[in-house]
Structure 1
Amino acid sequence: MDKIKILVTDDHPMVLEGMQTMLSQIGFVVITGLARNAYEAMELIKANLPHIVITDISMPEISGIAFAAKIKNEYPGVKIIAMSTFNERSYISQMVQNGASGYILKSAAKEEIEEAILTVYEGKLYMSVELELNKKEQQEINKIPILTSREKEVLALIAEGFTNPQIAAKLFVSPYTVDSHRKNLLTKFEVNNTAGLIKLAAKYGLV
C-alpha cells in the first residue's frame, strides 16, 4: 500500500518529538510535517496535503475543535484524529461534530496509534481503548448529528432563549429561514420540541 501521509499539530515540543519518534517506527506512515499551532498546520497542509492530521485539542489561539472545523471546511478529504490528555466526553462529542474521525489519548501506545491511523484511513470511526466507552456511549457518539455552520449559530441562540424573530434579526435573515433551520435541527436531533433539542445538544457538548 502507499504510505499514509500524517501531519501532527501540538503546542508542546516534547509531544511533537514523541509523536515523531513513534510515527517514524510505523512502516506504512510518512510524516509530512510537525506544527505548533493551527496557523502553521494550515500552511503545511496547503504545501503537502496529508491523508490524516493528528491534532491536540487544547491549543492556544485556535483550539483543536475550531481547527478541525477549519480543516473540514477547506480540505474535506483530510481525516482528523483528535489527541488529548483529557478523558472527557464533551471533547469527544465536539471533535466528532467538527469532523474528527478518531480520538486518542496522548498516553496511547504505538500499537494503538497504528490501529487508529488505519481505522480512520479506511473511513471508520476510532475511539481510544483507554476511554473504555461502553456500547451505549459508542452508539451515542455515532448518533451526534452533523450540523451546518448556520445551524450551529441558530442552535446556540435557541439555547440562549432567543425567539425566531430575535434570531432572525441577529443573523440578518428572515424569520421563515430561522424557522426552517429550527425544524431541521429538531429533525436531525430526532426530538419534538425546543426543550428536547437543548437537552440533547447540551449532552453532546454542542451548546
Structure 2
Amino acid sequence: MSTTIRVLIVDDHPIVRDGLRAAFNAAPDIEVAGEAADGAQAVRLAGELAVDVVLMDLRMPEMDGVQAIRRLRKSAPEIRVLVLTTFDSDSDVLPAIEAGATGYLLKDAPTDELLRAVRASHRGETVLATSVAGLLVGQVRKPARGGLSPRELQVLRLVADGATNREAAARLFISEASIKTHLLHVYAKLDVRDRASAVAEAYRRGLLD
C-alpha cells in the first residue's frame, strides 16, 4: 500500500505554484497530483485526481478559497484542506477555519515546516501558524457580547444531544477543528471548562430548550 500523499496546489500565481511543486517533488512521500489557478478549478480537480491534501490560497479570481473549501467539505469531506496564504487577519482566518480548513499557514513558512504541515494535515491533525493560533486564542478570550452566536448554539445543541465532535462536524459540514473552536468560545462565554458544564449552564440560562 502506497503512503504517498497526493497534493493539489491551488494558487493564481504561476510562480508560487512552481516553487511549491519543486519543494514537494523533492520530498519522497509527497506527489503533486495537479494544480489549479482558482477555487472552481480546485473543486473540480480535487475529485478527478483523487487527492489527499489541497493546499489552498484564499484570494483568487472566479471562486475564492473560502468558497472552494465549503464546496470541498460537501463534495469530498475526506480531503484535507491546508490554507497557504499571505493574510493572517481575523477576517481571513476565521472564515477559512469556519468553512472547514484543517490548517492555516503563511507563505513565508520555511519549506520543512510546509512539508511537515502537509504530512500532519494528511494524518488529520490541525496545523496553525503561530500568529494564527494567537489570533484564535484572542478571539476565545474576548468578552461575550449578546450571548452565544447562532453557530455556537447549533454546536451546543448537538453536544447536548450527545454528539461527538466528529459527529457534530459532519452534521454542520465543518471541520472538527471548527467544532473545537466554537466550543472554546462557548466555554469562555459561559465561564465553564467542559462540555457537560457548558450544557448545564446553557440550560440554566435558558439558552437551550
**Is TM > 0.5 for Structure 1 vs Structure 2?**
yes
Summarize the Cα distance change of 1:63–1:4 in structure 2 as closer, same or farther, 3 Å threshold.
same
CA–CA separation in structure 2 for the residues paired with 1:8 and 1:77: 17
Gap runs ≥5 in structure 2: 142-148, 158-181, 191-209
Summarize the Cα distance change of 1:61–1:28 in structure 2 as closer, same or farther, 3 Å threshold.
same
1:43-97: CA deviation from partner (whole Å, max 9, x where unpaired)? 2222211000001011112111111000001000000001111121332221111
Aligned to 1:123: 124
Q: How does 1:5-154 map to 2 (within 5 A)?
A: 5-129=6-130, 131=131, 133-134=133-134, 137=137, 140=140
Secondary structure of 1:83's counterpart equals strand
Gap runs ≥5 in structure 1: 142-151, 156-180, 193-207
Residue identity opposite 2:128 in structure 1: M
1:37 positional shift: 1.0
Secondary structure of 1:61's counterpart equals coil
Aligned to 2:193: none
Secondary structure of 1:69's counterpart equals helix
CA–CA separation in structure 2 for the residues paired with 1:30 and 1:121: 13
Summarize the Cα distance change of 1:21–1:135 in structure 2 as closer, same or farther, 3 Å threshold.
same
1:104 positional shift: 1.0
1:186 positional shift: 6.8
Aligned to 1:159: none
Please say if residues 90 and 135 of structure 2, whose CA atoms lie closer than 8 Å, have aligned partners that are also in contact: no
1:3 positional shift: 0.2
Summarize the Cα distance change of 1:7–1:183 in structure 2 as closer, same or farther, 3 Å threshold.
closer
CA–CA separation in structure 2 for the residues paired with 1:26 and 1:138: 35
Residue identity opposite 2:78 in structure 1: G
1:27 positional shift: 1.3
**Structural RMSD (CA):** 2.9
1:9 positional shift: 0.6
CA–CA separation in structure 1 for the residues paired with 2:52 and 2:44: 15
Q: TM-score, normalised by structure 1?
A: 0.65
CA–CA separation in structure 2 for the residues paired with 1:17 and 1:65: 23
Aligned to 1:148: none
Summarize the Cα distance change of 1:140–1:80 in structure 2 as closer, same or farther, 3 Å threshold.
farther
CA–CA separation in structure 2 for the residues paired with 1:182 and 1:95: 17
1:136 positional shift: 7.3
1:137 positional shift: 1.6
